[in-house]
Amino acid sequence: MFVKSRVEQFRQDQNGFTLVELIVVVAILGILAAIGVSRFAGMTDKAREKADLSTAATIASATQAWISDQDKKVESSDIGINFITNELVAKGYIESPKNSQTNGETWVVLYDDSTHELIVKAGTNEWYPKKE
């Protein structure tokens, strides 16, 4: 009987957590949240870069298809600032691409007559060809 009443008294004396225990739990949760948020922010930046690389590769591929369909030699003057909208989208090579996810700029295709190299840019960032 004495042991049973002692156990019941012990249970009644402990109504909750101490302030120190609660502060420790809140601190641990805060640290975990800070780590999670910083990791998530880095992941979204990488995802935006990957999306822009993919968009640039799609634009370059569509441009190469457009070049191969031309009956004449393509020159850099044929690929102007509105080339993506006026040629690639209008003639069904691609759907209208969204602006760059990393900087919000519109896409531009440049063509070098001497090397026949395509460069796909958004603002000052060159996305194609991919540079390591």
Of 90, 87, 97, which Cα lies nearest the Cα of 64?
Answer: 87
Of 88, 102, 90, which Cα lies nearest the Cα of 60?
Answer: 88
In a domain, 116, yes or no: yes
Return the sign of the alpha-carbon dihedral for residues 37, 39, 41, 43. negative
The predicted pLDDT at position 48 comes to: 93
In a domain, 37, yes or no: no
In a domain, 4, yes or no: no
Average pLDDT for the chain: 88
DSSP 69-99: H-SS---GGGS-TTHIIIIIITTTSSPPPPP
User: What is the rounded CA–CA span in Å between residue 98 and residue 63?
Assistant: 16
Residue 131 has pLDDT above 80, yes or no: no
Residue 53 has pLDDT above 60, yes or no: yes
More confident of the two residues 14 and 116: 116
Digit-coded pLDDT (tens) for 76-109: 999 988 999 999 999 999 999 999 999 999 999 9
Digit-coded pLDDT (tens) for 5-21: 666 766 666 677 889 99
The predicted pLDDT at position 17 comes to: 83
Which value, to the nearest 10 degrees, does the dihedral of the CA atoms of residues 115, 119, 123, 126 take? -100
In a domain, 16, yes or no: no
* Percent of the chain surpassing pLDDT 90: 61
Range of the domain at 73: 46-128
Tally the domains of the chain. 1
Q: ω into residue 129 within 30 of 0, thus cis? A: yes
The predicted pLDDT at position 10 comes to: 61
In a domain, 38, yes or no: no
The predicted pLDDT at position 4 comes to: 65
